[in-house]
Amino acid sequence: MPVIVVANPKGGVGKSTLATHVAAYYAAQGHAVMLGDVDRQESSKLWMSLRPESAAPIASWTLDRDHIAKPPKGTTHVVLDTPAGLHGKRLLDVLKRGQKVLVPLQASVFDMNATLNFLAELAACKREVGKLQVALVGMRVDERTRSAEQLRQFVARTELPLLSMLRNTQNYSLLAARGLTVFDVPPQQAQRDLTQWQPICQWLNQ
């Protein structure tokens, strides 16, 4: 069963946006998806409460932040939205349940520095967890800008894949306010965003 962990210890980098979209992508494929919210801010849980019945179903999974339980029976895919400040034993407990880790980051020196330290911790955890795929996603980035080039240079140092750079658009905030994602609307309404998501989806399907 695929378990996707969305993690970065820095707050405000787009973890919940990424987690809800991964869950919605799997749901759009007809999978039985559980979206687990380990974040005490419960952004994903709030998003779930706004999701209309007409949208592809995603089951909510409220988790104790100090204990990661097994998913309910019938679940085929799990997405875990994790909190800021996730380190040490709590991080290791989450990673033991996952096969893939998506790390969102923005093109600022503060985000990149915090993420570099986190990636070092991830590498240390992989020695205990075993096989674990890690990839990065640029959030709120215009890929034509100098900031985007700085982000590419940073990622090149990590030797990890940068799957995509998701642009800064109101599509994400407006859809989130309705419990929706770019995977829940007609393709013509979010074609540019869906194009940016294609490499992420391909990685999820590998």
Query: In the chain, what are the domains?
Result: 3-205 (3.40.50.300)
- Looking at the chain, the whole-number percentage of residues with pLDDT higher than 70 is 93
Task: Look over the chain and give the mean of its residue pLDDT values, rounded to a whole number.
Answer: 90
CA-to-CA distance for 107 and 201, rounded, in angstroms? 22
pLDDT score for 83: 82
Q: 173 or 85: which carries more pLDDT confidence?
A: 173
pLDDT at 63 over 70: no
pLDDT band, residue 84 (cuts 50/70/90): confident
Query: Residue 114's pLDDT band (boundaries 50, 70, 90)?
Result: confident
Average pLDDT over residues 72-98: 86
Per-residue confidence (pLDDT) for residue 141, from 0 to 100: 94
Check pLDDT > 90 for residue 131: no
DSSP string, 95-147: HTT-SEEEEEE-SSHHHHHHHHHHHHHHHHHHHHH-S-EEEEEEES--TTSHH
The answer for residues whose C-beta is within 8 angstroms of residue 143's C-beta and 6 or more apart is: 165, 167
Show the beta-strand stretches assigned E in the chain. 3-6, 33-37, 59-62, 77-81, 100-105, 133-139, 162-166
Predicted local distance difference test score (pLDDT) of residue 41: 65
- The distance from CA 177 to its chain's CA centroid, rounded to whole angstroms, is 18
51, two tokens: 């999701």
Decide if pLDDT at 91 tops 90: no
pLDDT at 11 over 90: no
Cβ–Cβ under 8 Å, residues 138 and 132: no
Give the predicted TM-score (pTM) of the model.
0.93
Angle at 152 between CA 20 and CA 2, to 5 degrees: 35
Which stretch of 25-34, 83-92, 112-121 has the lowest confidence by average pLDDT? 83-92
62 neighbors 37 (Cβ within 8 angstroms): yes
**Residue 119: its pLDDT value, please?**
92
The pLDDT of residue 192 is 96
Q: CA of 35: how far to CAs of 8, 58, 63, 64, in Å?
A: 17, 7, 10, 14
- Residue 69, pLDDT > 70, answer no
pLDDT band at 145 (very low <50, low <70, confident <90, very high): very high
Q: How many Cβ atoms sit within 10 Å of the Cβ of residue 126? A: 15
